[in-house]
Amino acid sequence: MPNSASPVTTELHFFDAVSDKVIPAYRVLDGNGQIGEAFARKIYEKMSLLPALDNVLYNVQRQGKISFYMTTHGEEAAVIGSAAGLDDTDEVMGQYREMGVLLWRGFSLNAIMGQCLGNEEDSGTKGRQMPVHFGSPAHHFHTISSPLATQIPQAAGVGYALKRDPARRGKNCTMVYFGEGAASEGDFHAGMLLASVLGSPTVFFCRNNGFAISTPAAEQYAGDGIASRGPGYGVKTVRVDGNDALAVLAAVREARRYAIAESKPVLIEATTYRVGHHSTSDDSFAYRPRSEVENWKKTDNPLWRMRRFLEGRGWWDEAAEQEMKDRYKNEVLAAFRRGETLKRHPLGELFTDVYGGEMPWHLKEQRDELSALLKKYSNVWEPWKKELAKFQGNGKEML
């Protein structure tokens, strides 16, 4: 088991007290989980779409075509398995490494590219946020925020709101994702406590991938991982092998059922391994040996494990794999190339959405100030002219 000395168990047991034994980790992939062919294939295909996107987007960042990127390498089972265990209308509060949830819910490749390129199709942030800061109310996916862990107490509030909404009470829960690093923030503790005391149908899903940038999990906590904290807050808890997509699926399914039925939170700790660098700003070989990463890829590869499961049932083979890979490669590249040609949102969007309702005087005045400067200089000052050309309508609405 990654990041834990946990023994493995095939018995799914939620605990609310910690014994003196190490918390066991639930898994089902090697057992006989009941799962249909189409659904199982969908899980594997969405898992595989992640690296297809990651490889292209990581590389185009290297070429300076997008400003930043974060991959999901190694965590495909934790992200897709958990998304598959939810209803597509459950509210999701992500950290940033959960693009797979959107893919599971049918977010399009064009929309992914739109956000990462910050073009006019980035309806999630209007080009305002860095890449991978997705958001889509239609997909019940709240817009990502860079400050860590702020989404955790918010999720307790979102769950509470679901409980109070007659149309969604008893039907939906909140799912909140965070890393084991973010779980050190005070907000994690506040969120767990509030959800537990106030009765919020919220699933707290920790992706324990062993690293917070360079800081290994061993320097993040001194206790038995994140799972051991659940009982302290009176929160039902389970640790799951996060590289086992079907174990994650089953744990999330049961957690959501319980959360909704009882209006109570559940904590899931999925143990996995961050195979990629933290982000395009990071070179992880400065703090971990390359061989460690290579080893993980070989010995505990979530994609390979899921593929073996499908193959064992006769639901997958090399031809299907090849066909999928080729298709993804073409689709992802085509979407990127298309997105690259699109312009940004209009420049005027710089000043909108600060407030709802009427724009206050100070922002109006500042917009007018920029507008006057643009009128005066944009025809003669080349750097501004060039920059304006990147916006829809070449900044016309400001001139």
Partner 1 sequence: MHGLRQHAQTSRFVSRSTLRTLRGVSACQGRRYAGTTPTEAQEKPPPAGGELPSIATSKLLRVTRETALKSPGLMWTSEPESASPDGGRETRKMNMYQAVRDALGIALSTDESAVVFGEDVAFGGVFRCTMGLAQEYGKERVFNTPLTEQASTNGIAGFGIGLAAMGQTAIAEIQFSDYIFPAFDQLVNEAAKIRYRSGGQFNVGGLTVRTPCMSVGHGGLYHSQSPEGFFLGASGLKVVVPRSPIQAKGLLLASIRDPNPVIFMEPKILYRSSVEQVPISDYTLPLSKMETLVRGSDLTLLTWGTPLYTCEMAMSMLSSPPPSLQGEDFVPRDARKANIELIDLRTILPWDMEGVIESVNRTGRLVIVHEAGRTGGVGAEIAAEVQKRCFLKLAAPVKRVCGWDTPVGLQYEKFYIPDALRILDAMVETLKY
Ligand X SMILES: Cc1ncc(C[n+]2csc(CCOP(=O)(O)OP(=O)(O)O)c2C)c(N)n1
Residues that bind partner 1 (CB under 8 A): 67-68, 118, 125-130, 133, 145-149, 181-182, 184-187, 212-215, 219-221, 277, 279-283, 285-287, 344-345, 347, 349-351, 354, 362-363, 366-367, 370, 373, 376-377, 380-384, 387, 390
CB of 82 or CB of 209, closer to ligand X: 209
Residues 237 and 16 sit within 8 Å (Cβ to Cβ): yes
Q: What whole-number distance in Å separates Cα of residue 20 and Cα of residue 22?
A: 7
By CB under 6 A, is residue 229 in contact with ligand X? no
User: In the structure encoding, which two tokens stand for residue 221, read together?
Assistant: 């906590």
Please state the closest distance from residue 183 (CB atom) to ligand X, in A.
Answer: 7
Separation CA 35–CA 18 (nearest Å) = 31
How far is the C-alpha of 92 from the C-alpha of 256, rounded, in Å? 12
Given partner 1, ligand X, none, residue 172, with its beta carbon under 5 to 8 Å by kind, binds: none
Residue 83 contacts residue 94 (beta carbons within 8 Å): no
Binding pattern for the stretch 241-280 against ligand X, x by CB under 6 A and - elsewhere: ---------------------------------x---x--
The DSSP string of 168-203 is TTTT--EEEEEETTGGGSHHHHHHHHHHHHHT--EE
Interface pick for ligand X out of 67, 89, 108, 146 (rule CB under 6 A)? 146
Instruction: Give helix then strand counts, H and E, for the chain.
Output: 12, 10
What angle (nearest 5°) sits at the alpha carbon of residue 212, between those of residues 208 and 214?
130
Q: What is the DSSP string of 200-229?
A: --EEEEEEE-SEETTEEGGGT-SSSTTGGG
Q: Per rule CB under 6 A, is residue 310 in the interface with ligand X?
A: no
Cα separation, 95 vs 149, in Å, equals 7
Q: Which region, judged by CB under 6 A, interacts with ligand X, from 83-91, 174-182, 328-336, 382-390?
A: 174-182
Question: Residue 44 corresponds to which amino acid?
Answer: Y
Nearer to ligand X, 148 or 259 (CB): 148
CB of 215 to partner 1, least distance (A): 5
Distance (Å, whole) CA 278 – CA 133: 15
Contacts with ligand X by CB under 6 A: the residue count is 16
Q: How far is the CB of 60 from ligand X (least distance, A)?
A: 21
Burial 86-111 (b: 16+ CB within 10 A, else e): beeebbbbbbbbbbbbbbbbebebbb
Q: Report the residue from 64, 147, 166, 383 that binds ligand X according to the rule CB under 6 A.
A: 147
Minimum CB separation of residue 216 from ligand X in Å reads 10
- CB of 129: closest distance to partner 1 in angstroms? 5
- Give the nearest distance from C-beta 268 to ligand X in angstroms: 15
Q: Examine residue 97 and tell whether it contacts ligand X (CB under 6 A).
A: yes
CB of residue 73 to ligand X, shortest distance in Å: 11
Residues in contact with ligand X by CB under 6 A are 97, 146-148, 178-182, 207, 209, 211-213, 274, 278
